[in-house]
Amino acid sequence: AQTVTQSQPEMSVQEAETVTLSCTYDTSESDYYLFWYKQPPSRQMILVIRQEAYKQQNATENRFSVNFQKAAKSFSLKISDSQLGDAAMYFCAWPNSGGYQKVTFGIGTKLQVIP
Amino acid sequence: DADVTQTPRNRITKTGKRIMLECSQTKGHDRMYWYRQDPGLGLRLIYYSFDVKDINKGEISDGYSVSRQAQAKFSLSLESAIPNQTALYFCATSDLERGELFFGSGTQLSVL
């Protein structure tokens, strides 16, 4: 089975500090995408960042960056200069490739930002 | 206007009732999905459709059915609702080239 694992159900970070959320996945595919989605209390699902597996360079979007270790099947999200608005559930997600995009989600990490 | 619209936003119903959740999109995507979110379980795929004539079961399709009325419309039905179907339901569309999902705002369903 191809799965996505988030081992940290809850995390907290001080405002302005840096936090890293972990995600591991299991696949036999060689070409795929990986995503992090954010779900604030409004419950809207928002794409935070996208990584293409064939790219060695880690993706970055403003204060959000990933540490992608393809051999280890690890895809962690780093949030720098944490802000109160970063408080949310964060989901790691991975779509099957091969033309059929059934996206599999981890169980999520709830991030608390402490003022 | 939202690109992916779900109705209703919230719904309370009783055990045994038939419920339909509706989803429409203006993104022009062929691929549409229904997910269910439960605390501690993440999002799980109920059904997905890659075009009007192609509908597939996801990992938790029992107790649910879907209809793809048009490229832009994909509805989810609970024929006889039961309490363990209480959850947050999301409709989503997919961009084939980039692979990302675009979500509606969700429907919180409570079955009493």
How confident is residue A4, by pLDDT bands cut at 50, 70 and 90? confident
What is the rounded CA–CA span in Å between residue B63 and residue A37? 28
CA distance B100 to chain A (A): 8
Report the residue of B23, B98, B100 to disrupt the A interface, i.e. the one with the largest count of A CBs within 10 Å.
B100
Peptide bond before residue A95 is cis, with ω within 30 degrees of 0: no
Residue with tokens 């060689």: A30
**Nearest-by-Cβ selection for A50 from B33, B42, B100:** B100
Tell me, yes or no, if B34 comes closer than 8 A to chain A by beta carbon: no
Residue of A nearest to B5 (CA): A44
Rg (CA), chain B: 13
pLDDT tens digits, residue range B53-110? 999 999 899 999 999 999 999 999 999 999 999 999 999 998 877 778 999 999 999 9
How far is A105 from chain B, CA to nearest CA, in Å?
A: 6
Chain A contact probe: residue of B4, B49, B59, B103 with most A CBs at under 10 A: B103
* DSSP β-ladder status, B73-78 and B87-94: unpaired
Sort out which chain B residues have CB atoms less than 8 A from A100's CB and list them: 50
**What is the least distance, in Å, from the CA of B2 to any CA of chain A?**
12
What pLDDT shows up at residue B36? 97
| Beta carbons within 10 angstroms of residue A112's beta carbon | 12
A64–chain B Cβ distance below 8 A for any pair? no
Q: What are the tokens at B36?
A: 């269910």
* Of A54 and A15, more confident: A15
Residue A4 backbone dihedrals phi, psi, to 5 degrees: -130, 130
Contact between B98 and A47 using a beta-carbon 8 Å cutoff: no
pLDDT grade for A15, boundaries at 50, 70 and 90: very high
- CB B5 within 8 Å of CB B21: no
pLDDT at A94: 83
DSSP-assigned beta bridge partners for residue A64 = A61, A79
CA angle (B93, B96, B101) in 5-degree steps: 35
- What's the token pair of residue B48? 């997905």
Check CB contact of A92 with chain B, cutoff 8 Å.
no
> Which of A30-34, A100-104, B42-46: highest mean pLDDT?
B42-46
Encode burial over A7-23: b for 16+ CB neighbours within 10 A, e otherwise. Answer: ebeebebeeeeebebbb
Burial of B61 (C-beta count, 10 Å sphere; 0-12/13-18/19+): middle
Task: Give phi and psi for B60, each to the nearest 5.
Answer: -135, 55
Angle at A18 between CA A16 and CA A24, to 5 degrees: 150
Mutation pick from A61, A102, A110 vs chain B, by most beta carbons of B within 10 Å, is A102
- In this prediction, residues B8-31 reach a mean pLDDT of 96
**Cβ contact A20:A8 at 8 Å:** no
pLDDT digits (tens, 9 = 90+) for A51-100: 988 888 899 999 999 999 988 889 999 999 999 999 999 999 987 654 55
